[in-house]
């Protein structure tokens, strides 16, 4: 049984699956070619579906890296003894069965299967209809790994067809599936969140803010902003809104606009920002609620840290926010009073990533308040059990 | 704001509320008399609704005990530095807004408010219709405490009337309520679990097992069984089913039946048990799925630990199970392979209680796999935030 299997068996399944991905590369690419030939979606999204030898190798390396992580199961998270002599231990255990619902990138299935296997959880994979044959070929390689480790093949299952009713059934499968993790666009995630009768770990969007405080180091602020907005614009940790103190904006905002404009960024600015940098387009209130995921930045000038915190509370998605300041007291206030899953001081919001956290791999990022927040790695896919050792104690 | 209030303010509100409960005792008892006069439910449940000076004092002492607990907020749960110099901290924070739905015991409202306040969570209390006036009088005392500590009165809210639509609205209030905790009978809890669009921490039932292994100390087994079944029969940690090894049953089962029978217990026994103690009523398969909450014990003879584990997996509610044995290897196997929230070795299942765990207070017991399991105390009503401190790092 997977939940009680030794780490060695789970790791053997992972390295075996990596080897099988390489051995089955031709087969996986042929399946992917079938998917690509049938693809009739947005041309811009076609590349997400495409696999090549490099991407297959990256999936295999990803599984090997997960195998090399420490075992997250069986940790004694807390231990104490009561006056009556009872020894209490809180021990990490698998959650159970994870339902993974994802869109077109087929490699997400391999990553998710690897993270679930490592953490002793069974997983049911339901990829996008577009990637059906690719997902099945990847699944076959993972089954090879499970067989090589003598673990149940049912540990990693795949939706049997493209019927959308299967997703609906997963969302209703309370008692059979313990946790649903959707990965994809806001439409997919919000539908899952609205319809699921099973707990969900997810983020519907990453409307991340960088706040430049009056006491920011201007050079650092410019370097961080260029990275936070423009390193990649299509990731959930990209900054979507710049909040900048009125005291520093006249000196700093023109340089930031020049930096980012030079990288191809457009702007949506409030009146105060436009008074400083004249030819910026006007931001609407809706713009400040928009996750651009593109080369666009909303800009608002604020009076200070509390106005920045209030703006984030009103417009943010509880994902990731950063403050740039040399004032440690203001930074601590921001780090404490901002309720987002991840808050940074003097660093780029694009660090919100399981790899950058040192988790080795992530299955998604959570912005809810329950079970886990921020990047979800193998440790966040565990729960716990209390083991109590006695010597015949009865309760008075 | 409650979430960022210092522990001193939250503790002051708790001790202030305790003082107000005492000061308003007459008013609370008068409100309770109004509820009792209007009561038209089951006579057996009438006592749950009744308050007296002793019960009001117990509520006040309970709040003072919660005030004396360590602050669960702001703990650095983990800390590490990455090679790029970023300092990561995982810090405990409140969950947000808790929705507490409970049945007739009015004191549950005071306990729940206290635990939520201590953990920095706002709470919306919706007690049973029967206890409407009692709950309102208790709520008024808690408001006194909040005012004395200059915390927002909205930190502890009460349903404005007895309209059942309010419960339905709470269950749908995703984004407004972060967590629902129902306390009451199986009917209430299963309805909440089925209808909620908000995460739920609860147990619908506690179908707890005590397994007596062949290598049990017979005297210890008898003492623990008497306590596990009969100390109180109406609590969720009471043992409902005895599993006993065939190797020890002929010697031990007659004594256990005599012990428990002498305390007024009835039995439902499988064929093997009836072959040992002849005049026991026959257990149906349904009996092994029944949480008696009464002076009734189901009995099944098993071949060994793995049959016991399999029986629990098929019939249990993932609440609390115990093994009685002197064989440490068998005990470890049971503690590892039984997936319930609480597993005990050589101790009574009735220890499943926040007070007995040393939590100081509990708001309920959870049998799900997400966020918390077992007794839910102040620590389990926290979530976390990642605070990341940098020196200008940008992501490559």
B175-210: pLDDT as tens digits: 899 999 999 999 999 999 999 999 999 999 999 999
Q: pLDDT per residue over B55-82, tens digit each?
A: 999 999 999 999 999 999 999 999 999 9
Q: Which of A40-49, A373-382, B231-240 has the lowest mean pLDDT?
A: A40-49
Supply the pLDDT for residue B111.
Answer: 95
Greatest CA separation for chain B: 79
Q: Which residues of B fall within a CB distance of 8 Å from A226?
A: 394
pLDDT attached to residue B126: 96
Q: Does CATH number 3.40.309.10 belong to domain A208-356?
A: yes
Inter-chain touch A337–B4, beta carbons under 8 Å: yes
Residue pair A209/A310 in contact by the 8 Å Cβ criterion: no
Tokens of B17: 């509320």
Give the angle B253-B259-B260 at the CA atoms, nearest 5°.
Answer: 90
Can you tell me the distance from the alpha carbon of B178 to that of B176, in angstroms, rounded to the nearest whole number? 6
Q: A308 is written with which tokens?
A: 């920045």
* Res A272: pLDDT: 98
Q: Beta partners for A374?
A: A366
pLDDT exceeds cutoff 90 at A202: yes
Mean pLDDT over residues A54-66, rounded? 96
3-class SS string, B123-192: EEEECCHHHHHHHHHHHHHHHHHHHHCCCCHHHEEECCCCCHHHHHHHHCCECCECEEEEECCHHHHHHH
CA separation for the pair A97, A94 (Å, rounded): 9
Which of A3, A347, A370 lies nearest to residue B393, judging by beta carbons? Answer: A347
Cα separation, B267 vs B300, in Å, equals 11
Sheet holding A382-393, edge to edge: A76-81, A87-94, A382-393, B342-347, B320-324, B208-212, B239-245, B296-302, B266-269
In angstroms, the separation between the Cα of residue B105 and the nearest Cα of chain A is: 23
User: d(Cα A249, Cα A243) in Å, to the nearest integer?
Assistant: 10
How far away is chain B from the Cα of A385, in angstroms, using its nearest Cα? 5
Distance (Å, whole) CA B264 – CA B12: 47
Residue A42: pLDDT above 90?
no
Q: What fold, for B2-204+367-388?
A: Aldehyde Dehydrogenase; Chain A, domain 1 (3.40.605)
Residues of A in contact with B95 (CB under 8 A): 369-370
Cβ proximity of A141 and A17 under 8 Å? yes
Chain A nearest-CA distance from B371, in A, is: 4
Nearest residue of A to residue B88, measured between CA atoms? A357
Mean pLDDT score, A268-282: 96
Query: How high is the pLDDT of residue A149?
Result: 98
HEC readout, A353-388: CHHHHCCCCCCEEECCCCCCCEEECCHHHEEEEEEE
CATH topology for the A2-202+373-388 domain: Aldehyde Dehydrogenase; Chain A, domain 1 (3.40.605)
Looking at beta carbons, which residues of chain A come within 8 Å of B351? 86, 388, 390, 393, 395
Q: Which residues of B touch A388 (CB under 8 A)?
A: 342-345, 347, 351
Query: Where do the domains of chain A lie?
Result: 2-202+373-388, 208-356
- Residue-level pLDDT at A162: 83
B184/A56 Cα distance (integer angstroms): 52
B262-278 residue pLDDT tens? 999 999 999 999 999 98
**Which spans in B39-82 are helix H?**
43-49, 53-68
CA distance A371 to A341: 12
Distance, CA of A204 to CA of A221 (rounded, Å): 28
pLDDT at A1: 84
Burial degree of A271 (CB within 10 A; 0-12, 13-18, 19+): exposed
pLDDT at A43 over 90: no
How many other CB atoms sit within 10 Å of the CB of residue B106? 30
> Is the CB of residue A138 less than 8 Å from the CB of residue A21?
yes
- Sequence length of chain B is 396
Task: Choose the weakest-confidence range: A34-48, B16-30, B98-112, B376-390.
Answer: A34-48
CB contact under 8 A, B370 and A370: yes
Question: Phi-psi region for residue A238, left (φ > 0), alpha (ψ -120 to 50) or beta?
Answer: beta
Sorting pLDDT into bands at 50, 70 and 90, what band is A163?
A: confident
**A226 to chain B, minimum CA–CA distance in Å?**
9
Interface contact A343-B388, CB threshold 8 A: yes
For position A360, what pLDDT does the model report?
87
Q: Give start and end residues of each alpha helix (H) in chain A.
A: 7-23, 25-38, 43-49, 53-68, 107-118, 132-148, 164-171, 186-195, 218-230, 249-262, 271-276, 305-315, 328-337, 354-357
What ipTM, to 2 d.p.? Answer: 0.94
Q: pLDDT > 70: what percent of chain A?
A: 100
What are the tens digits of pLDDT across the range B2-51? 999 999 999 999 999 999 999 999 999 999 999 999 998 888 778 889 99
What is the pTM assigned to this prediction? 0.94
Torsions phi, psi for B378 (to 5 deg): -65, -35
pLDDT of residue B44: 75
Q: So what's the pLDDT on residue A276?
A: 97
- Identify the pLDDT of residue B339: 94
Residue of B nearest to A391 (CA): B346
Residue-wise DSSP of B85-126: SPEEEEEEEE--EEEEEE-S-THHHHHHHHHHHHTT-EEEEE
Helix and strand element counts for chain B (H, E):
14, 15
Q: DSSP secondary-structure letter at B378?
A: T
Identify the CA nearest to A113 among candidates A105, A122, A102: A122
| B223/A357 CB distance under 8 A | no
Contact B132, B162 (CB under 8 A): yes
Would you state the pLDDT for residue B237?
A: 97
pLDDT over threshold 80, residue B104? no
Axis crossing angle, helix A25-38 with helix A53-68, rounded to the nearest 10: 120
Radius of gyration (C-alpha) of chain B in whole angstroms:
24
Q: What percent of chain B has pLDDT over 70?
A: 100
Residues in chain A with CB shorter than 8 Å from the CB of B368 are 178, 199
Burial of B246 (0-12, 13-18, 19+ CB in 10 A): middle
Query: Distance between CA atoms of B82 and A125, rounded to whole angstroms?
Result: 32
Q: What pLDDT score does B1 carry?
A: 84
> Which candidate in A86, A99, A380, A396 is best for mutational testing of the B interface (most B CBs within 10 A)?
A86
Which chain A residues are Cβ-neighbours of B3 within 8 angstroms?
A: 339
Distance CA A324, CA A21 (A): 44
In angstroms, the CA B140 to CA A200 distance is 36
Q: Of the candidates B79, B82, B33, which has an alpha carbon nearest to the alpha carbon of residue B56? A: B33
Q: What pLDDT does residue A45 have?
A: 79
Comparing C-alpha atoms, which of A30, A55, A46, A41 is closest to residue A107? Answer: A55
Contact call for residues B318 and B340 (beta carbons, < 8 A): yes
pLDDT at B144 over 90: yes
CA distances (Å), origin B251, targets B84, B257, B271: 66, 11, 17
Give dist(CA B30, CA B260) in Å, integer.
Answer: 42
């Amino acid at each position: 049984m997977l939940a009680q299997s030794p780490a060695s068996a789970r790791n053997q399944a992972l390295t075996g699956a990596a080897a099988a991905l390489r051995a089955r590369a031709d087969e996986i690419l042929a399946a992917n070619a079938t998917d690509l030939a049938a693809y009739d979606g947005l041309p811009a999204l076609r590349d997400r579906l495409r696999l090549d030898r490099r991407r297959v190798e990256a999936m295999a390396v990803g599984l090997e890296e997960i195998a090399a992580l420490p075992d997250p199961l069986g940790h004694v998270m807390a231990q104490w003894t009561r006056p009556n002599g009872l020894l209490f231990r809180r021990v990490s255990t698998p959650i159970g069965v994870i339902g993974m619902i994802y869109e077109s990138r087929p490699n997400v299935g391999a990553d998710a299967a690897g993270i679930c296997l490592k953490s002793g959880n069974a997983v049911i994979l339901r990829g996008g209809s577009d990637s059906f044959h690719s997902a099945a070929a990847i699944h076959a390689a993972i089954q090879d790994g499970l067989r090589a480790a003598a673990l149940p093949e049912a540990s990693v299952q795949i939706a049997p067809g493209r019927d959308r009713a299967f997703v609906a059934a997963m969302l209703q499968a309370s008692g059979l599936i313990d946790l649903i993790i959707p990965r994809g666009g806001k439409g997919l995630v919000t539908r899952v969140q609205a319809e699921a009768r099973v707990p969900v770990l997810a983020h519907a969007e990453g409307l991340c803010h960088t706040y430049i405080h009056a006491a920011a180091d201007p050079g650092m602020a410019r370097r961080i902003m260029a990275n936070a907005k423009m390193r990649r614009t299509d990731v959930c940790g990209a900054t979507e809104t710049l909040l900048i103190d009125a005291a520093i904006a006249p000196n700093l905002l023109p340089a930031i606009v020049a930096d980012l404009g030079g990288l191809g960024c457009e702007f949506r600015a409030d009146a105060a920002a436009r008074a400083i940098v004249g030819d910026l387009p006007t931001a609407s209130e809706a713009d400040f609620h928009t996750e651009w995921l593109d080369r666009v930045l909303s800009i608002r000038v604020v009076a200070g840290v509390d106005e920045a915190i209030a703006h984030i509370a009103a417009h943010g998605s509880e994902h990731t926010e950063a403050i740039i300041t040399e004032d440690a007291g203001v930074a601590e206030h921001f780090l404490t009073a901002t309720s987002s899953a991840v808050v940074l001081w003097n660093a780029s919001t694009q660090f919100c990533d399981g790899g950058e956290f040192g988790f080795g791999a992530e299955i998604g990022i959570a912005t809810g308040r329950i079970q886990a927040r921020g990047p979800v790695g193998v440790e966040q896919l565990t729960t716990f059990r209390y083991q109590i050792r006695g010597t015949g104690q009865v309760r008075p």
